[in-house]
Amino acid sequence: MNTPMILLKTLDKAKGLKVYPWYRFFQNTLSWQRDQVEVYQAERLQKLIEYALNTVPYYRAEWNRLGIRPHDIKTPSDLKKCSILDRDTLRNKQEELISSYFPLKNMHKGSSSGTTGIPINYYTDTDGLSAGMAAGYALWNMSGWNPGQSNVHIWGNQTSIKRWNTIPSKLKNLLFHQKNIASTLLNDPEQIPELAERIVRFNPRSIDGYSSSIYDFARYCQEEKIHLKNLKQVLTTAENLEPYQQKLIEQILAPTGDLYGSGEVLGMAARPVNDDRYYVLDPHVILETEASEISGMKNLLITDLNNYGMPMIRYRIGDMVDELHEPEPQAKFPFAWFKKIQGRSSDIITLPNGKKIHPVNIFGGTLFRRFPQITRHKVVWNGTFLEFIFEAKEKPDAKELHRQLSVLLHPFEVPFSIEYKDRILPSSNGKYKYLEIIPKKTVTP
């Protein structure tokens, strides 16, 4: 047995998980034929549907109302017969969504607020959590990552940071040769020099974590001419990786892959290094799409094939992709794929004139990269006009920036204002909120 597998088995024993067998399984599926994936998916789906109907009150009531029986759902294409699980239902029907088979005390609780600010609690059984963790590792493996290689983990979730001082977490770091860095510290200019020195001394083979924090670190390395000679890959997650961020990270640090997952459903898809496709780990999840209010983008519906404690079936997570494609016969991986993912669809602004605007989709960062003085931006909608806040130590060509924004916003007929700041602060978890929607003001720009 090779070293990475020994590490996973040791971690499982310490944490009471089953990551090792799931990781081996998912790794094997990377070389399956497409028909093997489809057969396995259908088998797991049928088992999940029957189980949910028998043990989960919400699905039993909902599917009885719709007249759905287990034999009605045989393949992913049959899922459209089932209703969609949205975030409001997940929050309001929480107890009814938990399987009667699993005592609550034996499950793993998590919470997520996304961009809504409204916490949503969810539960995962041990096998489902293990599968989700293993899925993330298998997706990272597409980029050449292996368990046990020296890695810097940059994260900001306060619950996770608190766990870093626990014995199981310290054991994991020791076994996996990992150093944890709180993203909130990397966002502090006064802390970056010391943290950068620690990272350089650690000499990691990989860095994973928040896109914005890794981007800030790359900018610092560029300014200070720091080179991490052992670094082979950067693996971003938790935030949209914008093209300008990827360009700088790859230029200064290393080739960059991007992992897509969520607290509710871990390890769903990844774009490996040196690739432009996000591959869906189909043996772990089923992804569907539905029409959205944004041209060229579709809402994601997710079915987790492995969480039986609180089954997520056709869960509208709030994220969007451009289009799901079936793999070609000679594709690198036998999985469905997409090219573009965008964060929460709740970031859509409905203007007083009825028009809808998605700032991230429209601006994306491309416009603002034309003005090198701008190091970060934020868009605020106050119910009356858009406020653009730019982090810039030196003021850019204000007249030209205003002109280009006017051209982009002309079709939406919405007024806007521009403000410059020396620094835009992140939220408490270290992430930067690029869009904020606040109660309507009575002032005008």
Share of the chain residues as helix, strand and coil, in percent rounded to the nearest 5: 40, 20, 40
Q: How many degrees, rounded to 5, is the angle at CA 314 between CA 107 and CA 280?
A: 90
According to the model, what pLDDT value does residue 167 have?
84
Q: How many percent of the chain have pLDDT more than 90? A: 61
Nearest-angstrom CA–CA distance, 341 and 289: 12
> What pLDDT does 115 receive?
42
Distance of CA 406 to the CA centre of its chain: 32
Q: Residue 287 contacts by C-beta under 8 Å, 6 or more apart in sequence?
A: 268, 269, 280, 300, 301, 302, 303, 321, 324, 336
345 has a pLDDT exceeding 70? no
Strand intervals (E) in 104-155: 108-112, 120-124, 151-155
Helix (H, G, I), strand (E, B) or coil at 385: coil
Q: Which of 2-11, 27-36, 87-96 has the highest mean pLDDT?
A: 27-36
pLDDT tens digits, 201-212:
999 999 999 888
Q: What is the pLDDT of residue 359?
A: 66
pLDDT at 344 over 70: no
What does the alpha-carbon distance between residue 131 and residue 154 come to, in Å, rounded to a whole number? 22
Q: pLDDT digit string (tens) for 238-266?
A: 888 888 889 999 999 999 999 999 999 99
181, pLDDT greater than 70: yes
pLDDT at 443: 44
Asked if 415 contacts 385 with a C-beta cutoff of 8 angstroms, the reply is yes
Q: How far apart are CA 263 and CA 195, in angstroms?
A: 27
Q: Which two tokens stand for residue 432?
A: 């930067």
In terms of Cα–Cα distance, which of 192, 112, 188, 205 is closest to 151? 205
Look at residue 325 and give its three-state secondary structure.
strand
Task: Say which residue, 356 or 202, is predicted with more confidence.
Answer: 202
Q: Is the pLDDT of residue 122 over 80?
A: yes
389 has pLDDT over 50? yes
pLDDT tens for each residue of 404-443: 899 888 888 899 999 999 888 776 656 667 788 876 544 4
DSSP string covering 41-101: HHHHHHHHHHHHHHH-HHHHHHHHHHT--GGG--SGGGGGGSPPB-HHHHHHTTGGGS-TT
Judged by DSSP in three states, 305 sits in: coil
**Rounded CA gap, 391 and 35, in Å?**
51
Across residues 323-337, what is the average pLDDT?
A: 97
Average pLDDT, the chain: 89
CA–CA dist 148, 137 (Å, integer): 11
Q: What is the pTM of this model?
A: 0.83
Q: Do 257 and 271 touch, CB atoms closer than 8 A?
A: yes
| Residue 117: per-residue pLDDT | 42
62-121 confidence digits (pLDDT tens): 999 999 999 999 999 999 999 999 988 998 999 999 999 999 999 999 887 554 444 688
Does 390 have pLDDT greater than 60?
A: yes
C-alpha separations of 73 from 46, 52, 82, 432 in Å = 6, 12, 9, 41
The class that CATH gives domain 348-437 is: alpha beta
Q: What is the pLDDT of residue 429?
A: 57
Gap between the Cα atoms of 340 and 334, Å rounded: 19
Q: Which of 46, 47, 37 is nearest to 73 (CA)?
A: 46
Q: How far is CA 174 from the centre of its chain?
A: 26
Banded model confidence at residue 289, pLDDT cuts 50, 70, 90: very high
pLDDT of residue 366 exceeding 80, the answer is no
Q: Which residues pair with 234 in a beta bridge?
A: 207, 256
- Using the predicted structure, report yes or no on whether residue 337 has a pLDDT greater than 50: yes
- What's the token pair of residue 131? 């599968």
Structure confidence at residue 14 (pLDDT): 85
pLDDT at position 136 over 60: yes
Give the angle 78-83-84 at the CA atoms, nearest 5°: 105
Residue pair 237/258 in contact (Cβ under 8 Å)? The answer is: yes
C-beta separation of 193 from 162 below 8 A: no
Question: Which residues partner with 152 through β-bridges?
Answer: 179, 207
pLDDT of residue 292: 87
> How far apart, in whole angstroms, are the C-alpha atoms of residue 176 and residue 149?
7
DSSP structure class, residue 442: S
**Predicted local confidence at residue 440, as pLDDT:** 57
